Structure 1
Amino acid sequence: MISFSRVDTSVLGRWWWTIDRWLLSAILLIVAIGAILTLAASPPVAARIGLDTYHFAIRQFAYLPLALLTMIFVSLLEPVMVRRLAAVLFAVFLILTASTHFLGAEVKGAARWISFAGFTIQPSEFLKPTFAVVAAWMFSEWRKDTAFPGHFISIALFALVAGLLVTQPDFGMTAVISAVWGVQFFLAGLPVFFVVLVAVVFMTGSMAAYMMVDHVKSRVDRFLDPASGDNYQISRSLEAFQNGGLFGTGPGEGDIKHLLPDAHTDFIFAVAGEEFGLIACLFIIGLFATIVLRGFSKMFHETNLFVLLAVGGLVTQFGLQAVINMASTTHLMPTKGMTLPFISYGGSSLLSLALGMGMLLSLTRRRVGGEL
């Protein structure tokens, strides 16, 4: 068990006494639940496609130590170092995201991944947390000195990121980044003209995606009218929750995961519902809510505008991603390939979330006078 004296002035000692331990505990609990659910959900998927039974579990467990080390290391940084790290990583992954248009491996009709040395990475996953921090930096600098065009720089960067994601295409991630950026712009005090402009752009973009992109139109139509197309996965997902009841069928005893192609990724929450029941699902939702509400609580007591905007963006992104996954799984919104944070299988998702939560833990540490 970690134990440090209050007079310990070492890096780890200061970290332990300034970190938000409620946030840290909730994150670690979700990581542990994700490990259990990966073991429960992935073997049938691996067997179905001819891989070793624990192929996905082994790969996920290989990423876990690196993810935890990343989160702890980043949480040790001071806010000024967090924004510098975010700026460097944003530039790197922006270039890598652009390169997927030429070097990317196409999966399910989208070129979002780059493969090298036996590993596959989705660069756009890392744009979510890094762009949230960079946008917060630009907005805060604009507010410090209105002569500095921070809001215009942020708009230009957002347009570049959104353009790269739409052309992959990845409308789900575009929507999440757009929502996070919109929240930050609102918190930064954008003029009424921009409120109207952003709202019009978002609505126009959504309508254009529905009218011009076949799979987006198909998903929305099938959500509004289940009889209009194939709803196999969502039907099996709802069946899983029904089978699970209050307390579940027991670990490893679920049947629906043998029928769901994406049981270890997009529909892992359905596996939790069947094998561990409604009570466990509510506990998982409670953990996500704890992180989001704790983050917002910290944000509203923050005096430094950069920290306020960065925390607001990171918490909104984390919560929105969780809501989209769980709402899709329970048929409360059209299905979207969005991972459940720290629970769904995926190395890029796991590492990018660890980076984002490390930044959140760093920015919510107690600081003297709110200084950077």
Structure 2
Amino acid sequence: MVTFDRTDQSVFGRWWWTVDRWQLGALAVLMALGTVLITAASPPVAERIGIQDTFYFVERHLIMLVPAVSIMVAVSLLSPRGVRRVALIVYLVALLLVIATLFVGVEIKGARRWIHVPGLSIQPSEFVKPAFAVVAAWLFSLSKLSPGFPGALVSILLYGVTVGALMMQPDLGMTFVVSAVWFTQFFLAGMNIMLVAILGIAGVVGLVGAYFTFPHVTSRIDRFLDPNAGDNYQVSRSLEAFANGGLFGTGPGQGTVKFSLPDSHADFIFAVAGEEMGLVFCLFIVFLFAFIVLRGFARVFNETNYFVLLAASGLLVQFGLQAAINMGSSLHLMPTKGMTLPFISYGGSSLLALGIGMGMVLALTRKRFGPTD
């Protein structure tokens, strides 16, 4: 094991003694659990869709995990100014790619969210999420630090452009997460309470409008409210998996629901954990996500840098909300939404984007001495 002396002034030496090693360790445990669950859940999926290599998804997951971890560590080395610069670049490139999906994207289940490149399918909206949270925090902080700069107005305009591009795909789930994070930052930034109320009402109106505008949204909400309103096969099988697992599960690899659950390696991997590992193991996963989020908030609780406070808060809310949506969908606590369980579900773009986002969290929550930029 590599260790660093406290007097080590190298880049990695300073990083090791200033980064939150507890949070880093919890993320590593999540990644390890994800690898175990992907190994258990994905072979039946590969067989079902005709892939000869039953460990295809396991191999792909491990291949993408390496750059995701590398990106996370590299980004965590940055200063707050470096985080801002990286976020701005990632946001602009990802937003252009989101717009490009409308013209050159591959249509899957009526949505254009992916761009295929040789050997890889990229979902640009995954990268918009963490990058926009940091850019919005930067603009809100400028509104406070430079009263003459219309940071809040620019943030509102960028939010409108971002949400507009996402809804054109359409991707209501991603729009909801981006909106919830941005609204949280808007509130924390201390903006005019009347404007906060107006935006809140606009959000509710938008959700109602989406229900009447997009058939797939109507279907999912109707099926959630009334199980007899349509096909609830995946949710029913997911609940069956949790019932089979009980407290301690049927044992690793011994589950049966994964053989008939189409997205057992992705959106419903939490159900596989419930069946094979049991309730206690699932609660441990919930604990890990809660620990990472609450630990991050504890690190920035007394932060004096306005940008760091808003950016870290937005990224942590995003991370926790994504996990809650995935687990809630598996347990039929909310309408289903194709959203990965961070660092556990299969998904290349998701892993890379999470590497960027949590790398930013680790960078922003590092101990800093003296003035910060």
| TM-score normalised by length of structure 2 | 0.99
Residue number in structure 1 paired with 2:27: 27
Equivalent pairs counted in the alignment come to 372
Segments of structure 2 that go 5 or more residues without pairing to the other structure are: none
Hey, what's the Cα distance between the residues in 1 that align with 2:336 and 2:103?
A: 28
Whether 2:146 is the aligned partner of 1:122: answer no
The aligned runs of 1:28-47 (5 Å cut-off) are 28-47=28-47
> Could you say what secondary structure the match of 1:325 adopts?
helix
Q: Could you say which residue in structure 2 is the equivalent of 1:135?
A: 136
* Residue aligning to 1:350: 351
1:18 maps onto 2:21 in alignment: no
Per-residue CA deviation, residues 289-309 of structure 1 (Å, 9 max, x unaligned), is: 001101111222211000000
**Identity of counterpart residues, as a percentage?**
60
Distance 2:290 2:29 in 1: 13
The answer as to whether partners of 1:272 and 1:281 remain within 8 angstroms in 2 is yes
Shift of residue 163, structure 1, vs aligned partner: 0.3
CA-based RMSD of the aligned residues comes to 0.8
Q: How does 1:303-342 map to 2 (within 5 A)?
A: 303-342=304-343
Please state whether the residue corresponding to 1:111 is helix, strand or coil.
strand
3-state SS of the aligned residue for 2:314?
helix
How much does 1:269 deviate? 0.1
Provide the C-alpha distance between the structure 1 equivalents of 2:275 and 2:246, rounded to a whole number of angstroms. 7
- Structure-1 residue corresponding to 2:89: 88
- Cα deviation 1:160-215 (Å, max 9, x = unaligned): 01000011000000000000000000010110121111111100100001111111
Aligned residue for 2:277, secondary structure, equals: helix
Q: State the alpha-carbon separation in 2 of the partners of residues 297 and 313 from structure 1.
A: 14
Q: Indicate whether 1:191 and 2:201 are aligned.
A: no
3-state secondary structure, aligned to 2:197: helix
Which of structure 1's runs of 4+ aligned residues deviate more than 6 A? Answer: none
Displacement of 1:2 in angstroms is 2.6
* 1:219-242 C-alpha deviation (Å, 9 max, x unpaired): 111111111211111010000001
Q: Give me the whole-angstrom Cα distance separating, in 2, the residues matched to 1:41 and 1:107.
A: 23
Question: What is aligned with 1:2?
Answer: 2
Q: Deviations over 1:18-76 (max 9, x none)?
A: 00011101111101111111111111011000012111111111111111100000001
Q: Give the letter aligned to residue 136 of structure 2.
A: A
Q: Which amino acid aligns with 2:314?
A: G
Q: In 2, distance between residues paired with 1:82 and 1:192?
A: 29
Structure 2 CA distance for aligned equivalents of residues 145 and 298 of structure 1: 26
Offset of residue 118 of structure 1: 2.3
Output one character per residue of 1:224-261: Cα deviation in whole Å (capped at 9) or x when no partner. Answer: 11112111110100000010111111111100000100
What's 2:107 paired with? Answer: 106
Describe the SS at the equivalent of 1:369. coil
Output the CA distance in 1 between the equivalents of 2:14 and 2:24.
15
CA distance in 2, matches of 1:338, 1:64: 18
Distance 1:149 1:49 in 2: 52
Counterpart-to-counterpart distance in 1, 2:249 and 2:68: 30
Separation in 2, partners of 1:136, 1:43? 42
- Residue in 2 aligned with 1:156? 157
Distance 1:219 1:64 in 2: 31
d(CA) in 2 for partners of 1:356, 1:343: 15
CA deviation string 1:63-97 (max 9, x = no partner): 11111100000001111111001101111111111
Per-residue deviation, residues 316-362 of structure 1 (Å, max 9, x unmatched) = 00000000000000011111111100011000000000100000000
Contact 1:303 1:370 in 2 (8 A): no
TM-score (norm 1): 0.99
Letter in 2 for 1:7: T
Q: What are the residue-to-residue correspondences of 1:266-285 with 2, within 5 Å? A: 266-285=267-286
Corresponding position of 2:60:
59
Q: Distance in 2 between matches of 1:334 and 1:293?
A: 26
Letter in 1 for 2:31: V
1:368 match: secondary structure: coil
* 1:206-217 correspondence to structure 2 within 5 Å: 206-217=207-218
